[in-house]
Structure 1
Amino acid sequence: MTTEWDAKFEDAVRRVVSDLPPGEPLRPDTDLRDHGLDSLLTVTLIVELENAYEVRFPDEALVPETCRTPGVLWKTVATLIRT
């Protein structure tokens, strides 16, 4: 399976969601909550991504669904990068 995101994105996700299996590829549909992503780590992940990509998540993106899976999260980040 190929991914559309870059290494910077995957590194940030793996750094914050440390329960992800290191030997397995990060899949777009992986439920990050199943791997330990809670509300505090969600905030940490958003801040990591904002700093890495020099963007700001708009208020409407600051909902649990945005960080539920890497695929949804990357779609949000990619949109912010393009604007």
Structure 2
Amino acid sequence: VMATEIIADLKKQLEEAKEEAKDWEESWNMCREQVRALSRQSDIISMVLRMDDVELLDLAFGFVRGCYNQQIKKEQE
């Protein structure tokens, strides 16, 4: 009987550890995506700051505005 209780307790602990590991993995993935987004934002800003051709800046602005509007629509769905 004692061994059965120990095994049951260990199984419960294992399930709890699996859930905790799953939560950690989800948090890690979210952090990794945030780092990726911030890095990309920084890269884009850095490139734009080096641009001085107004026509190219207008093209870039139009493209970014379109992407931003798509994101807004996607978030509203």
Larger relative contact order, structure 1 or 2 (CA cutoff 8 Å, min sep 6): 1
* TM-score of the pair, normalised by structure 2: 0.29
* TM-score of the pair, normalised by structure 1: 0.28
Larger radius of gyration: 2
Q: Which is helix-richer, 1 or 2?
A: 2
